């Protein structure tokens, strides 16, 4: 059986780093097995869902290189949920409830005050047909709960957490439909997983109890549950759950000049026993993907680590990969000369000004100005003008080290550090280099 995974975001906002990690891992799991990765837009919340967010989700996945093999939208599948709901109602596995939110909250507080778990008491099942009819005649519309089977424990072998065991009697019957007829997450998700042939559900550990409930829904709909795996959630660099992570998405990464390759390299492996490395080749990351390497501790997302990865990724980029984003006139040689000094591709324009000029040279001591005048006179162009010039100056002046190189760099670039001058000087050109030396010499 071919593996089918899915990523199922709700279009009520932009993707954040936790969503991206979930999408990536599902994509990797499918690609490793030669299976299918599906995008499902969970847009049953009509009040909060926005088409602009649907477009943004697609665009972000494309930017990250996470290409889905198919797409479904829950808003176009409502008839399927009605059919499943009717089956469950006929089988007695869903039932109407009339309590208000305030009544449920009061019951919850009473149970907690007694030291008891806040489990729904199934009071609605005690209502007679006449009582239900009276409530509806009075305009009370029910919400609907899925009736859990208390007969056997709910068990599964989690791909990350190992054997899982839940006593259904210790769980509340979940609400699957609101009083206005709209759907909550649980039932439509199970119905869609069945219809889409999803074989593996990989998601955050905050869904573990949902999985216990949904396993019974699969069984009630005469379907085998998929395999489940629940990964530890992301934490911020401060070591606890960070609200900031909920707003850190592709737009924020792009604004900071972070490359998608760096994001993928980081999120592919944080929280696992595998080293986080600046790996550009997706096939390498996919081949090494293994749920057995995932730990149970929260995965720590560190901005500084992402920045380090980004610089390492940029240093591997070939000219053709970035040519469209480079300043006008920058050649392959220019990119290769400047690349080692970049943390972000966008910094190339600033460094390219060192080549194109003009450069602002700081005031130089008199002895350095005389030295630069000698340099201008001794400059001879060749295949390696930098080493030719510095070799001749060393022999003629006796200078070495910083006193030999720094005045030349300052005069030629206006900066005390930067790209390798042996690569940079040929880009500046003979006439411009001599003119800069002469100008700095005064």
Domains, the chain: 4-79+184-235 (3.40.50.620), 88-177 (3.90.800.10), 319-355 (no CATH), 357-441 (1.10.10.350)
pLDDT in tens, 211-228: 999 999 999 999 999 999
The whole-angstrom separation of Cα 393 and Cα 250 is: 51
Whether the CB-CB separation of 202 and 231 falls below 8 Å is answered with yes
Cα dihedral sign for 191, 194, 198, 204? positive
243 is in an annotated binding site: yes
Question: What does each C-alpha distance from 337 to 346, 352, 419, 423 come to in angstroms?
Answer: 15, 10, 6, 5
Residue with tokens 């006139």: 329
3-class SS of residue 2:
coil
pLDDT of residue 187: 98
pLDDT of residue 239: 61
Sequence-distant (6+) residues with CB within 8 A of 208 are 158, 161, 164, 230
Q: What is the DSSP string of 366-402?
A: HHHHHHHHHHHHH---SSSHHHHHHHHHHHHH---TH
Give the up-direction half-sphere exposure of residue 165: CA atoms within 13 A in the CB hemisphere: 3
Cα dihedral sign for 176, 181, 184, 187? positive
- Which residues does residue 300 pair with via DSSP β-bridges, in sequence order? 235
Q: Which tokens in the block code for residue 397?
A: 């002046």
User: What are the helix (H) ranges across 76-185?
Assistant: 78-90, 101-113, 129-137
Residues in the chain: 442
pTM above 0.85, yes or no: yes
pLDDT of residue 244: 73
Q: Checking DSSP bridges between strand 234-235 and strand 227-231, what pairing results, if any?
A: unpaired
Kindly tell me the burial class for residue 207, based on how many C-beta atoms sit within 10 Å of its own C-beta (0-12, 13-18, 19 or more).
middle
Whether the CB-CB separation of 229 and 202 falls below 8 Å is answered with yes
The whole-angstrom separation of Cα 410 and Cα 195 is: 67
Write out residues in the chain with pLDDT < 70, as ranges.
1, 238-243
**What does residue 196 show for φ and ψ, rounded to 5 degrees?**
-85, -5
**H-helix or E-strand spanning residue 438:** helix 430-441
């Amino acid at each position: 059986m071919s593996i089918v995974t899915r990523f199922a975001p709700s279009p009520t906002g932009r993707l954040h780093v936790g969503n991206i990690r979930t999408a990536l891992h599902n994509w990797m799991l499918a690609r490793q097995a030669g299976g299918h990765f599906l995008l499902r837009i969970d847009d049953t919340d009509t009040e909060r869902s926005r088409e602009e967010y649907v477009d943004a989700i697609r665009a972000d996945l494309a930017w990250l290189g996470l290409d889905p093999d198919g797409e479904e939208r829950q808003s176009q599948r409502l008839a399927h949920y009605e059919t499943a709901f009717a089956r469950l109602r006929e089988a007695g596995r869903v039932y109407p409830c009339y309590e208000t939110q305030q009544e449920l909250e009061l019951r919850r507080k009473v149970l907690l005050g007694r030291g008891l778990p806040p489990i729904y008491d199934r009071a609605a099942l005690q209502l007679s047909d006449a009582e239900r009819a009276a409530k509806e005649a009075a305009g009370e519309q029910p919400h609907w709960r899925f009736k859990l089977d208390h007969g056997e424990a709910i068990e599964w072998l989690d791909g990350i957490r190992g054997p899982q065991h839940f006593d259904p009697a210790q769980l509340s019957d979940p609400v699957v439909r609101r009083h206005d007829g709209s759907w909550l997450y649980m039932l439509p998700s199970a119905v869609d997983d069945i219809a889409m042939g999803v074989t593996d559900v990989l998601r955050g550990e905050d869904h573990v109890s949902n999985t216990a409930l949904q396993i019974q829904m699969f069984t009630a709909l005469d379907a085998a549950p998929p395999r489940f795996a629940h990964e530890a959630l992301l934490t911020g660099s401060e070591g606890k759950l960070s609200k900031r992570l909920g707003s850190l998405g592709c737009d924020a990464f792009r604004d900071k000049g972070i490359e998608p390759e760096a994001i993928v390299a980081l999120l592919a492996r944080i929280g696992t026993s595998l080293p986080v490395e600046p790996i550009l080749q997706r096939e390498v990351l996919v081949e090494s993907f293994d749920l057995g390497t995932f730990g149970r501790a929260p995965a720590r997302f560190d901005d500084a680590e992402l920045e380090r990865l980004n610089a390492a990724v940029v240093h591997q980029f070939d000219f053709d990969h970035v040519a469209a984003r480079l300043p006008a006139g920058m050649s392959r040689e220019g990119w290769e000369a400047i690349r080692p000094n970049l943390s972000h591709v966008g910094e190339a324009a600033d460094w390219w000004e060192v080549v194109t000029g003009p450069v602002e040279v700081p005031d130089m001591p008199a002895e350095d100005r005389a030295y630069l005048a000698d340099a201008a006179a001794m400059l001879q162009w060749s295949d390696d003008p930098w080493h030719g010039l510095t070799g001749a100056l060393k022999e003629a002046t006796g200078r070495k080290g910083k006193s030999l190189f720094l005045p030349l760099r300052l005069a030629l670039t206006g900066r005390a550090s930067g790209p390798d001058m042996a690569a940079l000087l040929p880009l500046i050109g003979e006439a411009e280099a001599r003119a800069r030396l002469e100008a700095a010499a005064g």
